Amino acid sequence: MKITKLKLVNFRNYSTLAIKLGDGMNIFVGDNAQGKTNILEAITILSLTKSHRLGVHPNVIMFDRKKAKIKGVIRKDQIISKLEIDMEENNKKLFLNQTEIKKVADYISNLNVIVFSPDDLEIIKGSPNVRRNLLNIQLSQISKVYLTVYNEYNKLLRTRNEYLKVLFQNSIADSSYLDIITDKLVEKAVIIYQMRKEYLDFVNNSIDKYYKDINGDSGLLVEYHPNIEFDSYDKESIRKTLKHYYKKNYKKELNYGMTLVGPHRDDFTFLFCGKDLKFFGSQGQQKTAVLAYKLSEIDIFREKLNTLPVLLLDDIFSELDLKKRNRLLKLIHQGIQSIITTTDLRNINKKYLENAYIYNVKNGNVERK
C-alpha cells in the first residue's frame, strides 16, 4: 500500500499543498514549527478520520477559513483509490472514489498507517485509556468486524449506564430491561476480548525480536489485563464469567451508575524480563519497547491483510542514538513506504538517502530537493 499523491487545502498552515510521494522513503526536513508534523497529521486523518497528536488544538482548519480538505491517491496491488475528507468546524465528510461514505467503518482500512511520534512514550507511561485507544485504532484498520462490534458495544454501554441511573432513582422501574441490555453487551464484549487477546498474542510473536534488533538485548513481551480474570478465552468461559460479575456487582453498579467490568476497562503492560517497564524501565528502554511494538504491527498487517501499511515517523530519530537509529532504518527500509520528519538530514545514514524523496519545509512551503 502506497500514497502516491497528497493534497491539502486550508489545513493547519497550508493554504494549498500538492505533492507526489515516492514508494520508499520520503523525508521532510525543516526547523521546528514549519509544518512537517502537519503533513503526517493530515495523512493520519485521511487514514483514521482523526489526528494522532496529543495536546494540540483539534481544529485543523486554517485560521480565518471555513473549510479544509485532505485528498490522497492510494495504490494497492495496482488498484488506484482516491480518498478525500472535507472538514468544516463541526462536520466531516468522507469520500472514496468521489462517492460519499456515511459510515466510518466502511471508510477505514482504505489506507492503513502506523504512526511513530514523540508522544508514544504515553503508551507506556500514560493511562490505560491510551493503550486501549492504540488497540482500537490498529484492530479497526485490520478488521471491520472489530470496529462495528466495538461501536455497538459502546452504544450498549451508554444505554446500560443510563438505565442503571434510572433504576437507582426509581426502585419500581423494570429491571428486566437491564437484563436484556446486559445480555447484548456480553455478546459484543466476548468478541472484543477474543480479538484483543489474539492481537496481543500476535504482537508477542515478534516484539522481542524487534526489540533485540534495535537495542541488542531481549526479554520483552506485552501482557493483556482485562479487569476481570477468565479461566480461558473461549466464548462460553468469557460469557459465563461476565454474567457472574454483572450479577455480583449489581448493587455496586447501581450506586455508581456505571458498568464496572468489561473491555472498556482493559489494559495491557510492557514487561521486560518480567518487570513492568512503566515502573522499572529507563526512558531509552521504554522508547525502544514502543518502537518494537509498532514494528510488530507491520507483521500483523502483512499476515492478516496481505499488505504493508504506510509508516509515519515524526521526529523520532532525534531521540535515538546513532546505533539505534541505523538499526531502525535498516528494519523499515525493506519494501515499505515511510514518511519521515526531521530537523536535520545528519540524523539519517547517507546510504538510506540514495533513493529517498527529500523535501525542504519552511513556513508552510514544501519543495523537493
Where is 276: in which H helix or E strand? strand 275-276
Confidence band (pLDDT; 50, 70, 90) for 120? confident
Q: Pick the residue with more confidence: 316 or 248?
A: 248
Give pLDDT tens digits for 58-83: 688 888 888 999 999 999 888 999 99
Do 361 and 216 belong together in one domain? no
pLDDT band of residue 322 (cuts 50, 70, 90) is confident
pLDDT at 350: 81
Which residue, of 288, 306, 324, is where some domain finishes?
306
pLDDT reported for residue 80: 95
Q: Which residue has the cell 456505571?
A: 258
Same domain, residue pair 228 and 134: yes
3-state secondary structure of 334: coil
pLDDT band at 55 (very low <50, low <70, confident <90, very high): low
**Angle formed at CA 247 by CA 244 and CA 250, multiple of 5 degrees:** 145
Contact indicator for 84, 95 with CB cutoff of 8 Å: yes
Q: For residue 119, tell me if it sits in a domain.
A: no
Q: What is the pLDDT of residues 246-305, one digit of tens each?
A: 999 999 999 999 999 999 999 999 999 999 999 999 888 998 999 999 999 999 999 998
Higher-confidence residue of 364 and 69: namely 69
Q: Do 102 and 147 have their domain in common? A: no
What is the per-residue pLDDT across 31-46, written as a single tens digit (0 to 9) for each? 888 889 999 999 999 9
Do 277 and 360 reside in the same domain of the chain?
no
Residue/partner pairs of 94-100 with CB below 8 Å, 24 or more apart: 94/49
Name the DSSP class of 226: -
Q: The domain that contains 28 carries what CATH number?
A: 3.40.50.300
pTM beyond 0.85, yes or no? yes
CATH number of the domain at 240, please: 1.20.1050.90
Beta bridge partners of 307: none
Query: What does the DSSP 8-state code read for residue 231?
Result: S
d(CA 30, CA 19): 16
Q: Are 44 and 113 in contact (CB under 8 A)?
A: yes
Question: Taking 80 as the threshold, does the pLDDT of residue 154 lie above it?
Answer: yes
Band the pLDDT of 56: cuts 50, 70, 90: low
C-alpha cell at 267: 489494559
Residues whose CB falls within 8 Å of the CB of residue 50, separated by 6 or more in sequence, listed in order: 44
Residue 331 scores a pLDDT above 90: no
Q: What is the pLDDT of residues 135-151, one digit of tens each?
A: 999 999 999 999 999 99
Q: Is the pLDDT of residue 57 over 60?
A: no
Cα separation of the two ends of the chain: 24
What pLDDT is recorded for position 270? Answer: 96
Split at pLDDT 50, 70, 90, the class of 118 is confident
Does a structural domain hold residue 134?
Answer: yes
